[in-house]
Chains A and B, each alone.
Chain A
Amino acid sequence: MAKVLMKGNEAIGAAAIKAGCKYFFGYPITPQNEIPEYMSRELPKVGGVFLQAESEIAAINMVYGAAGCGVRVMTSSSSPGIALKQEGISYIAGAELPCVIVNISRGGPGLGSIQPAQSDYYQSTRGGGNGDYFHPVYAPASIQETVDLMQEAFDVADKYRTPVMVLGDGMIGQMMEPVEFFEREPLKVEKPWATNGTKGKRKPNIINSLFIDPQALEDHNHRLEEKFELMKKNETRVETFNMEAAEVVCVAYGTTARIVKNAIENCKKEGIEVGLIRPITLWPFPEAAFDEISDTTKVFLSVEMSMGQMIDDVKIAVAGRRPVEFYGRSGGMIPTPEGVVQKIKSILGRE
């Protein structure tokens, strides 16, 4: 298929439909409104359902219901809206149902701003709701990667019976880039657990996240933990760049990683070698990439559009083997390559 020029938000909708998503429940919020707009126009054409709920909480619970029926379903929102959905996400994780949640994030806390930000890292990767759970979080850096990961997200959700989050910032949602949709068959997964009617032939399925018996809940927690370990083993994604002789290794995800790549080029011109570890999955965090570090590397630098959240995972992965520094902008301010270069020089004492 030829390349088409698409806005990130529309590309997300198109990729979801390609992945066999037939149901969308959501509530409007900037900067992701083109997703529900696209879905409201396109889902009816493929026999699907678009429904604008009365609130984010209603929308995520509609997702919960549809996922329980075994269909491919998604919702999308932006930071404060995702915060409202966390109760539902926790229930869905507890009930082990597959669905995709898109967060085109914006500045915070509270209503914050509508400009790009990455200050939902904790919310996304630490189980934003209550209880012991994690779900995969994909952080695309381009529109092409966004559509590829959307298709992947639905497969992974079905495979592990888990909610999956795709986390972009306002820039990913709003910008246009050429994309190519690769024909890939959605993973076919049997869903014998789905509450889609017994037709008198089987016992009713029950979908629930409530376990009255403590032992039963602990057993359930252990089973979930096994699943999380399996996802860590199989679903971790990372890109590394210019690592061989790097004096400084930056860690950045999403659009920030692209800004860092520009900074790396600028540093090269000045004779400073800088590498990049770009987590594509924020959970599972690509810890193994931190074990293959060159002897030339003196320090890590976490670059984020936040006051410093991913840096915690960087420190865990580095495990004290090198110092970890931070550079970030927040509130909708976007880091510049010059800002990153300056920070690198200041760390190396070469201002």
Chain B
Amino acid sequence: MQERAIFAGFGGQGVMSMGKLLTYAGMIEGKEVSWLPSYGPEMRGGTANCHVTVSDAAIGSPVITNDATCLIAMNLPSLVKFEGDVVAGGVIFINSTLIDIKTDRDDVHAYYVPANDIANDLGNLKVANMVMLGAYLKVMHPVKEESVVETFHKLFTGAKEKLIPMNEEALKRGADSIVIA
């Protein structure tokens, strides 16, 4: 198994955190993992993305070029920029609250998740990323959902501990939004 996922969105949507959580959860499970962020001159509200590899075997290049197994697009520019990098038969998750078009690709599986709407229902727009991660984990299984929850407990400590239930709920709501035919 080797999952090569691109998480992309605009700054502030928590795309780096989504990737880190997946990476951390993979490490907890004893898998090989790498997390590579985009860095560089970006304007405020500009694009942000990270490349996450979770693998049973040692990871060669941490860079995902045109061989992504999965894309998680949180906004329109991210979908446009990266949809071509997904392998045929790969999966694209689209934040349908902010992206009102469909993917051009007809050789991938696409899931449309109204992540911002669901997060708003939960009363915290900031957990839209966790909604998306929940949806992702329902379909793709590079790590177990329990490992992500365990990661919450490792990373959200002290004053942040109170954020755990909200994040768990967001994961669950994201997963529930997916209907697998």
Partners in one complex: yes
Q: Interface on A for B, CB 8 Å cutoff?
A: 3, 5, 30-31, 114-115, 170-171, 174-178, 255, 258-259, 261-262, 265, 334, 336-338
Contact A5 B23 (CB under 8 A): yes
Say yes or no for B158: interface residue by CB 8 A criterion: no
Say yes or no for B110: interface residue by CB 8 A criterion: no
Say yes or no for B24: interface residue by CB 8 A criterion: yes
21 of the cross-chain contacts (CB-CB < 8 Å) are: A5-B20, A5-B24, A30-B39, A114-B41, A170-B39, A171-B36, A174-B36, A174-B37, A175-B36, A175-B62, A177-B34, A177-B62, A255-B61, A255-B62, A261-B61, A262-B60, A262-B61, A336-B65, A336-B66, A337-B65, A338-B66
Contact A175 B65 (CB under 8 A): no
Beyond A176-B34, A258-B60, A258-B62, is A3–B39 a contact (Cβ under 8 Å)? Answer: no
Min Cβ gap A319→B in Å is: 30
Query: In whole angstroms, how far apart are the Cα atoms of A338 and B64 in the complex?
Result: 12
Beyond A3-B27, A255-B61, A259-B63, is A177–B35 a contact (Cβ under 8 Å)? Answer: yes
B contact residues, total (Cβ < 8 Å): 19
Beyond A171-B62, A258-B60, A262-B60, is A115–B40 a contact (Cβ under 8 Å)? Answer: yes
What residues of A have a CB within 8 angstroms of the CB of B61 in the complex?
255, 258-259, 261-262, 337
Min Cβ gap B68→A in Å is: 13
Query: In whole angstroms, how far apart are the Cα atoms of A262 and B66 in the complex?
Result: 13
What residues of B have a CB within 8 angstroms of the CB of A114 in the complex?
39-41
Q: Can you add 7 more A-B contacts, CB < 8 Å, to A175-B37, A258-B62?
A: A5-B23, A114-B41, A171-B63, A176-B20, A177-B35, A259-B60, A262-B60
Q: Interface on B for A, CB 8 Å cutoff?
A: 20, 23-24, 27, 33-37, 39-41, 59-63, 65-66
Min Cβ gap A327→B in Å is: 15
What residues of A have a CB within 8 angstroms of the CB of B36 in the complex?
171, 174-176
Contact A174 B23 (CB under 8 A): no
Contact A176 B35 (CB under 8 A): yes
Instruction: Kindly name the residue among B24, B59, B63, B66 whose own CB sees the greatest number of chain A CB atoms within 10 A.
Output: B63
Nearest 10 pairs of A and B residues by beta carbon: A262-B60, A176-B35, A259-B61, A261-B60, A175-B36, A336-B65, A178-B27, A262-B61, A258-B61, A258-B60
